[in-house]
Amino acid sequence: MDASATKQTTGPGARAEALVASYERAGYGRVTPAILQPAEPFLDLSGEDIRRRMYLTTAPGGAEFCLRPDLTIPVSRDYLASAAAGRPAGFSYLGPVFRHRTDQPAEFLQAGIESFGRTDKAAADAEMLSLALEATAHYGLNAPDISTGDVALFAALVAGLDLPSAWKRRLIKDFNRKSNLAQDLDRLVLGGNSTRPEYQGVLAALAGSDPKGAHALVTDLLSIAGITAVGGRSVGEIADRFLEQSALGAGAKLPGDVRGLIERFLVIGGDPDQAAAALRALAADANMAGALAPALDLFESRTGFLAARGVDLKRIKFATAFGRGFDYYSGFVFELTDPARVGDPLVAGGRYDGLLTRLGAREPIPAVGLAVWIERLAMYGAAS
């Protein structure tokens, strides 16, 4: 067990221990990943907000490490290194995470659950939201605001559009960064490239070239220039960015009606039943019923499992534009907040089916999880 966690035997720590004990009883075995982690997975797979708040250090041999800024990636890495890899398994945790924060301690406790390998995705998603609601109730907050979204719906919409694959990847990647997504749409409508003029010649030379050879060329040029990292990104990542920019500048232009379709999609909201009806109508109008059907079927199945668990669907605020700012989320996402105050989430989580392969799994492994901010919920526990 983490030393910081073992010290929390009274007060808020005792209540947090009781919460995680309830997760263990539900079948999520307790784990304690290392505090010091390789930095690359976080730099490559987390959102910009996490990356700029990380505590980084460099080993004598040049490898970069960090104090873990969250626990999803560490638990995922340990699962892949275990004998359980590839099989259904669930884990719980309680321990410190570390992020630069203004006027708040950089070290704070986080509890949570990670569930791997379950193929009944709708049921697993519903269980995760149900357990999240139990966490706020455990601290005396029985009716939090429930905000949900579904990254898979946006990905399905984009996959059905007539756009170059580089633009599709970019739109999905920027889904959680609303200003970036708006800029992407503007660039597509104009058919232009906002890249700095001094880069245009390099990007034009790369456009249409062999990807492997172009990547090697850019990597060699950066190395010759003595560049080893910029903004926490490696030479390889910088080369990938150049190649992406060359593909994005290949002259794609988004018709106004397609942008209108995306914008119509992004304003759909309401409770899950209302949203499903609006999404079915949009799919029919845009002749995209086939493209959206799998994601919509999963959405509606999840709604059924939530109702079966006794969750009041009218309390759920679904929005197609809702995201959580983490690059690895690929499906259902949610946040629970205090309706009495505007602020950060108390419990949040979602589905990240693509993360395990990006961490080295040979085959895709379904995964979903949640994180509990103990410090934010402790105020309710102290009052009860």
What is the residue-wise DSSP string for 138-195?
A: HTT--S-EEEEEEHHHHHHHHHTSS--HHHHHHHHHTTT-HHHHHHHHHHHHHT---S
Average pLDDT over residues 20-27: 96
Q: Are 349 and 112 in contact (CB under 8 A)?
A: yes
Largest CA distance in the chain: 65
Residues of the chain by 3-state class (helix, strand, coil), percent to 5: 50, 15, 35
Sequence-distant contacts of 258-264: CB under 8 A, at least 24 apart: 258/161, 258/162, 259/185, 259/188, 259/189, 261/157, 261/286, 262/157, 262/158, 262/161, 262/185, 263/185
Return d(Cα 302, Cα 296) in angstroms, integer.
Answer: 10
Q: Per-residue confidence at 366, pLDDT binned at 50, 70, 90? A: very high
Tens digit of pLDDT for each residue in 128-166? Answer: 999 999 999 999 999 999 999 999 999 999 999 887 777
Cβ partners under 8 Å of residue 135, min gap 6: 19, 111, 336, 346, 347, 370, 372, 377
H/E element, 206: helix 200-206
Return d(Cα 71, Cα 293) in angstroms, integer.
Answer: 33
Tokens 């203004």 correspond to 102
Q: At what angle do helices 12-25 and 121-138 cross, to 10 degrees?
A: 150
Tens digit of pLDDT for each residue in 211-251? Answer: 566 556 666 666 676 665 544 455 555 555 555 555 555 45
pLDDT over 70, % of the chain:
76
Q: Per-residue confidence at 352, pLDDT binned at 50, 70, 90? A: very high
String of b and e for 250-280 (b: at least 16 CB within 10 Å)? Answer: eebebeeebeebbeebbebbebbeebbebbe
Return d(Cα 260, Cα 345) in angstroms, integer.
Answer: 31
Residue 296 φ/ψ, nearest 5 degrees? -70, -40
pLDDT over 90, % of the chain:
59
Q: What is the pLDDT of residue 5?
A: 42
Domains and their CATH numbers in the chain = 1-144+363-384 (3.30.930.10), 165-248 (no CATH)
Mean pLDDT (the chain, rounded): 84
